[in-house]
Structure 1
Amino acid sequence: MPAFAGVVLGAILVSQPAAAQIGGQQAFTFLNLPPSAKLAGLGGVNVSSRDADATMMYGNPALLNADMDNRLALGYVDYLSDIKQSTAAYVFNTKSLGRLGVGLTYLNYGRFEQFDAAGTSLGEFSVNEYALGVSDAYTSGNFTLAGTLKLAVSGIAGNHSLAALVDVGGIFKHPTQDFTVGLTVRNVGYQFQPYAGADREPMPLDVQLGASFKPEHMPVRLSLTAHHLQQLDIVYLDPNQRGQLDENGVEIKPKKTLGDKIARHFVVGGELLFSKNFHLRAGYNHLQRRELRLENTSAGAGLSFGAMLRISEFQLDYTRAYYHASGAANYFTVARTLGSIFNKSSSN
């Protein structure tokens, strides 16, 4: 089962547009996976939904804001079988360096059995990847500019690869309305150490632009995000896929259309804001739905549903994201402002 689950998650990773177009010839594509419940609940890609959720700096470092100060968020993702992902994010403000965010995400694919050419078992090995990032944001008026420096490591059976990457982002927040526009360039970097015997591979570059808007008298916030804008054509057609037959028995191969090329760039997310303590979320990622569907059914691929609940000082987030007919991923995030803990301790 772990091997099958690894194949499915691999399909999720290479379904990232640029990778699918060139056959997955990129390294560290795990950086494209949403590491938190909110980001996954909005479709997996969002650069403009601005609130107190510290994990949103993974979507755009410019989303760092005062509501996140001294806030710690811990996330956990239960993928298929033994594949798990853990995430931590903490935000604090400084006088000289601006607002800083520190994030760590760790992805473990489980353990696999190794065999030699004769089929003899050589024991088990593990596969894991992790990234440590430090974000810095500066706000002036209605604009916020930010950047993230990341160190990423990938390991297979003791063989490791190392890369350094940078995210750069910006936010415009309307002065009177709940309207935000975000832009980010993600994963600009260099693979310092490729796997032994392998060539250096490009990083999973992604240019994203999006907006979030809440009508004044409606408890709804809508988000629309475009991704991989650096590459127009991100449609992958399997050359081995059999097409339908026409009335003469001639096979009709699928063709790319302009509408499909455009639609695969967009992710739609929505939030129902019942109160400050309870939100519902839903997202739709058209690229994932097209890339990860089966021949005869989509089985919910590309859809995600989630909720946020605040209990006392804690914020709890949950999302169930459907990637494939074989199953879905469960995202859990818990967050708390640590400043209130320290204040209570000092007053006692």
Structure 2
Amino acid sequence: MAIINRGCRFLGMRGIKYVFSFMSLLCVRHAGAQVTGGQFAMEFLRLSTSPHTSALGGISVANPDNDISLVAQNPAMMRPGLHNQLSLNYNSFYGDINIMNLQYGYHVPDINTSFFGGVQYLNYGSFFETDNTGNINGDFHAVDYSVTVGASRTYLEHWRYGAAIKWAGSALYQSSATALLVDIGVNYFDTATLWDFGATAKNMGSMVKKYDKTNGAEPLPFDLQIGISKKFKHMPLRIFTTIHHLYEWDVRYDNPTDNISTNILGTTDSSKLNETHFADKLFRHFIFGAELALGKHLLITGSYNYLHRKELAISTKTGAAGFAFGVGIDLNKFQIHYARNYYHIAGAYNEIGLNFAMNKLLSIGKANGKKLWKAEYPDWN
């Protein structure tokens, strides 16, 4: 055990530097990458894995709330305070797609390491298999899934660093694929000033089995994200700013109508060709959110995702595209989270989640008469 502890302390001293150096390298490596929809395998890995995250715009890498589901966004968010917490989430997504997520955390004080695991499952339903004349020859199902295990450790007083390994799989008609991926992250939380900073590199890895062996590269949906949040001491409010796709400046959809339009005389006007769209390109990387705590048991959340609004709103009517709202209720032994996310004017999707304090509900996590629940450990270190 002494050898393990010495090794963990060595990783703690070097880990933060290694993580930041690696993230900087990733920015350079992917600087020329093209962010275009439909060009990546395992795109489902970009989806939010909980209503709490969905209510914050789909990404939340700097959120110190007592919610185990948030560790799927940044492995460094796992900490002793989330020990023995279980999260179950259900998402009634568009097109009758059913999405289920599970997260569980456990802290091991002997080596001062917090572990977690998770499962993501998407069921696209049953489809008819037909020939070119419409005759039904049978049916088939389509599913995507991922299984994650990870761990995090503390460094100095305010820092944590973590990593997670993901096995992702997909079965779509007669094609199937698998991939092995890694997430790494760091988090800084100051309990005095209530500032939180997080950074994570997601979905690094390669395909183990391609959908089609004759295909060339099937890139995975890598992303580099940072986030910052601040809770006010004398106000029950926390504000969030998240920046995504840090490795690529221009993530605008290449829409020809943005450059050429038709004037009232019916002729084409190409004057927009030389526009730089600087502000538009900049804010497509940003998500803004806020959480308002009403007492000790109720949390109201709202967010605005500029990229979602610009990509999914239509020119004649934008509606609430890009906005998301949520509510959380903390009842001590369990939490209830609900989110409503507006992607498009066609409608919103609803998501619900339950977090359970397993020790308090089922007496799980006791050893030799000693309770191994979060009250036995500091929340952060």
Give 3-state SS (helix, strand or coil) of 1:341's partner.
Answer: helix
Distance in 1 of aligned mates of 2:37 and 2:332: 48
Larger-gyration structure (1/2):
2
Give 3-state SS (helix, strand or coil) of 2:99's partner.
Answer: strand
Residue of 173, 179, 187 corresponding to 1:171: 187
Residue of 192, 209, 224 corresponding to 2:226: 209
Tell me which residue corresponds to 1:162.
Answer: 178
Taking structure 1 as the reference length, what is the TM-score of the superposition?
Answer: 0.89
Distance 1:81 1:233, change over 3 A: closer
Distance in 1 of aligned mates of 2:290 and 2:37: 32
Distance 1:278 1:84, change over 3 A: same
Distance in 2 of aligned mates of 1:188 and 1:56: 19
User: What are the superposed Cα offsets for residues 246-271 of structure 1, whole Å, 9 maximum, x if unpaired?
Assistant: 35533235655010000000001100
Tell me which residue corresponds to 1:24.
Answer: 38
Task: Compare the two structures and name the one with the higher helix fraction.
Answer: 2
Q: Which moved more, 1:41-50 or 1:19-28?
A: 19-28
Give 3-state SS (helix, strand or coil) of 1:55's partner.
Answer: helix
1:306 matched to 2:326? The reply is yes
Distance in 2 of aligned mates of 1:42 and 1:185: 19
Tell me which residue corresponds to 2:101.
Answer: 87
User: What are the superposed Cα offsets for residues 35-79 of structure 1, whole Å, 9 maximum, x if unpaired?
Assistant: 101000011111101121001011111111222110001000001
Tell me which residue corresponds to 1:11.
Answer: none
Tell me which residue corresponds to 1:235.
Answer: 252
Distance in 1 of aligned mates of 2:128 and 2:310: 32
Taking structure 2 as the reference length, what is the TM-score of the superposition?
Answer: 0.82
Identity of aligned residues (%): 31
8 Å CA contact 1:235–1:256 kept in 2: the answer is: no
Distance in 2 of aligned mates of 1:303 and 1:77: 17
Distance in 2 of aligned mates of 1:341 and 1:122: 49
Distance in 2 of aligned mates of 1:178 and 1:217: 11
What is the correspondence of 1:185-264 to structure 2 with a 5 Å cutoff? 185-196=201-212, 197-239=214-256, 243-246=260-263, 248-252=265-269, 257-264=277-284
Distance in 2 of aligned mates of 1:230 and 1:101: 28
| Total equivalences in the alignment | 330
Unaligned runs of 5+ in 1: 1-17
What is the correspondence of 1:1-348 to structure 2 with a 5 Å cutoff? 21-94=35-108, 95-96=110-111, 98-140=113-155, 141-196=157-212, 197-239=214-256, 243-246=260-263, 248-252=265-269, 257-343=277-363
- The CA RMSD over aligned residues, in Å, is 2.2
Distance in 2 of aligned mates of 1:151 and 1:295: 39
Structure 1 stretches of 4+ with a deviation exceeding 6 A read 344-347
8 Å CA contact 2:34–2:248 kept in 1: the answer is: no
